[in-house]
Amino acid sequence: MTKMTYREAVRGALRQALRSDPRVFLMGEDVGRYGGAFAVSHGLLEEFGPERVRDTPLSENTFVGAGIGAALGGMRPIVEVMTVNFSLLALDQIVNNAATLRHMSGGQLSVPLVVRMATGGGRQLAAQHSHSLEGWFAHIPGIKVLTPATPADARGLLLAALRDPDPVFVFEHATLYPTEGEVDEAAGPAEIGRAEVRRAGDAVTLITYGGSLGKALQAADRLAVEGIEAEVVDLRSLRPLDTASILASIARTHRAVIVDEGWRTGSFAAEVSARIMEGGFYDLDGPVARVCSAEVPMPYAKHMEDAALPQAATIVATVQEMLRRRG
């Protein structure tokens, strides 16, 4: 096991993929000479050259479309979109081409495309660089949506994405890049579509993913001081969603709080809540609760941004209120 940052884990997976498969190439804004907007691809241009690590113009619809075309032609492109907000410029290519071509061709065409992008707030970059829109992508049949929260998953899920015959979108919460964790560099790809219980408990299930996992674990630590043992479930993948693991945890704890950095209305948390109600209603001792971002464009000022985002204190307060209602 090696201790490394999330950023280093992604870079290691990219390097491994580029070395092992000549069909793999990386392209996106500033991925080459600059080393990536978040320094993930630093050094890869010098190691693999401009044919394998390609800087693109500031035109997401164009270079995501080029990635789709390359995938159709037998390559294994990894496309980096600088932040999730900019991916909206490529939605036509994503929804109408990447997600549909296998189905519209009756299985004759395959789009083995990986798209990586930074998501989430917490860095004082205001409303055009800070939202969590991965729940929107999880609405689309024909693609997979991965949300690695740890360095080990950042590596393992990216390796798994590169083996998938269909488009896979990897959402890397930007606050995670400098975080550290243990990574087994000899491990193979992770399993797509399987959630992980990051902490066991019997009083309430905290369901989350990506950048909110650390906050949920902090909340669980604070609740444990009060004698409340919270189970923390890391979804890891939003599409496919591991509904069975969610329901198994609810059967143990009988309560659920979903932590989702997306806006509450139409949130992915609402989808998880609905699945719990459909499949685990009789295991619940009370209503499912959601902790989501405030329904405003993300503020720039630090104190306002903190207030808009889910925080450990908010999760703790939500659980405490849930248990008070029980009494």
For residues 243 and 173, state if they share a domain.
no
Check pLDDT > 90 for residue 326.
no
Strands 144-146 and 114-119: unpaired
Of 126, 154, 183, which residue constitutes the final position of a domain? Answer: 183
For residues 201 and 269, state if they share a domain.
yes
Active-site residues: which are they?
60, 129
- Mean pLDDT across 206-225: 98
For residues 179 and 201, state if they share a domain.
no
* HEC letters along 215-267: HHHHHHHHHHHCCCCEEEEECCEEECCCHHHHHHHHHHHCCEEEEEEEECCCC
- Mean pLDDT across 46-62: 97
For residues 159 and 233, state if they share a domain.
no
For residues 88 and 230, state if they share a domain.
no
Residue 189 lies in a domain: no
For residues 156 and 10, state if they share a domain.
yes
For residues 218 and 135, state if they share a domain.
no
State the alpha helices, DSSP H only, in the chain: 6-20, 44-48, 60-72, 91-93, 101-104, 134-137, 151-163, 213-225, 243-253, 268-280, 302-308, 312-326
pTM of the model: 0.96
Name the token pair of 213.
């996992």
Range of the domain at 207: 196-326
Instruction: Give residue 325's pLDDT.
Output: 82
Of 155, 183, 211, which residue constitutes the final position of a domain? Answer: 183
For residues 202 and 320, state if they share a domain.
yes
Of 120, 151, 183, which residue constitutes the final position of a domain? Answer: 183
pLDDT (tens digit per residue) in 144-183: 999 999 999 999 999 999 999 999 999 999 999 999 999 9
Percent of the chain exceeding pLDDT 90 equals 98
Instruction: Give residue 327's pLDDT.
Output: 55
Percent of the chain exceeding pLDDT 70 equals 99
Residue 190 lies in a domain: no
Domain count for the chain, please give it.
2
For residues 216 and 174, state if they share a domain.
no
Name the token pair of 75.
């390559």
- Mean pLDDT across 281-304: 96
Identify the CATH number of the domain in which residue 108 sits: 3.40.50.970
- Measured CA to CA, the distance from residue 134 to residue 138 in angstroms comes to 6
Identify the CATH number of the domain in which residue 316 sits: 3.40.50.920
